[in-house]
Amino acid sequence: MSSPIFFVTPDASRAVGLALLPIDLFLVTERKDYTVAWLQSQGIKTLVLSSNYNNTGKMLEDGRTVKFLSDNSKTQAPNILIFKPSDKIDLIVKRNGYKLIANQGFLNKKFEDKVSFYRLCVRYKLPIPDSMISKLGELSFWQAKEMFGLPFIVQFGRGWAGSTTFFIYDENKYLELQKKFFGTVVKFSQKIDGITVLNNACVTWDGKVLISEPAVQIAGSLFGGLEGSTFGRQWGGKLISNSQKTKIRGITQIVGSIMAREGYLGWFGLDFVISQNGKVLLSENNARLTASFSFYTQLEVLAGSDSTLLSHHIASFLREKLPTWQNQEFVGSQVSLRGDPERISYVKKSLPQGVYNENLGFCRYGVGVRDLKKASEVYIGFPQAGERLPKNSEIVSLEMNREVIDRKHNLYPETRQLSRSALSKVNCE
């Protein structure tokens, strides 16, 4: 792919996987750190805005970004790659004559919004937990309890990292939620005891659906996080049976084909719940680049892939033909620890990002799992001192090329301890 690709993101760490691809990559980001220095050493021309927008749309509107795109687009309409679509970005792209390497906001909402995706699942008879759509105030606590048991789940259409998913254990909590959001359309559903699973997939420009192996998700509750959130994932380790994998692949193929018919292109990821009796149920659709896209791309490249899922995502919008993508099995784990969901924080003290040993001893600087040389090593992404952390943002991330979940789907104690130790080294106010 010879056309310049401009990745606009507040978080430069998301560009690490992209930097491993044979593309003409440019980066617009907000903060200078070791990752930015490494990207520049790889020949990637970078604009650092030194801003606190934490918003891709505002970054695109910045006059310095407009000039950077114009100066480096080789007389072509700049190809803008983003993490998450929005209506605002659509307007900016249209106004400036850019080409967006992402779906428009309305398509993202159609498939990612939990209310609309539920309706799609019902329409196509896809296997989902017992659920219904209603407005808060129309269904009493006792009616919901009778239908779904306790705890039952209330989900708003849009949310991030479990921030709009509520587990209702008693009437008081339900009435409090109902009073605050009276009349809002939400999804009520049964809580399924089991494990949560995800995959990554891609709709190509000619309508094919490429589907990765599934990964087991790490529950946020293991770290005292929001119930319903996930704090990482593990590929490999044979924690999912072959029959469950086949079921997941079949559901993903159906969903991807539906999305393709609606004009959707590129990367998406599905979340599943596997109940204690082994039943596979579809939960959510992340109709965009997923949180794991850069990490997953590193794992693909490390496994020797010369045609990655991310390459096919980009090619789907540029309508370019690539070598056939080969699904691969590998082992890799990622843990992401988030900050306060209710307030902005500022980092007073931290450690350098890079490769550490199992005792949190610093080995060398690095940018991701690609830098690990031993199975005992771990990449840890720390924030910089002085950095502003938005609400519910990632504080510390760990990447490993080994398993971190045991056969009972619990984190290994040493991984939990290392994660907590790493988090304790970051002092925020």
Please tell me the predicted confidence (pLDDT) of residue 247. Answer: 99
Residue-wise pLDDT tens digits, 147-180: 999 999 999 987 654 568 899 999 999 999 999 9
Q: Find the DSSP H helices in 236-336.
A: 242-261, 293-302, 309-318
Q: What percent of the chain has pLDDT over 70?
A: 96
Domains of the chain (ranges; CATH) run 4-102 (3.40.50.720), 113-126+194-330 (3.30.470.20), 130-190 (3.30.1490.20), 333-429 (no CATH)
Q: Give pLDDT tens digits for 203-234.
A: 999 999 999 999 999 876 555 555 555 689 99
CA pair distance 381, 94, nearest whole angstrom: 35
Predicted confidence at residue 424, as pLDDT, reads 94
Q: Inform me whether the pLDDT recorded for 395 exceeds 50.
A: yes
**Does pLDDT of 57 surpass 70?**
yes
Mean pLDDT, all residues of the chain: 94
Report the distance separating Cα 284 and Cα 268, nearest Å. Answer: 11
Q: Kindly report, residue by residue over 113-149, the tens digit of the pLDDT.
A: 999 999 999 999 999 999 999 999 999 999 999 999 9
Distance CA 307, CA 364 (A): 29
* DSSP, res 405: B
Q: Number of C-alpha atoms within 13 angstroms, CB side, residue 133? A: 14
Which ranges in 97-188 belong to alpha helices (H)? 105-112, 114-123, 141-148, 171-180
* Average pLDDT value for residue range 73-85: 93
| Residue 75 DSSP class | T
**pLDDT for res 224:** 52
In the chain, what is the straight-line distance between the N-terminal and C-terminal CA atoms, in Å? Answer: 45
Q: What is the mean pLDDT of residues 75-100?
A: 96
Residue 388 has pLDDT above 80, yes or no: yes
Amino acid 343: pLDDT: 85
Given a contact cutoff of 8 angstroms between Cβ atoms, the answer to whether 298 and 154 are in contact is no
Return the pLDDT at 161: 47
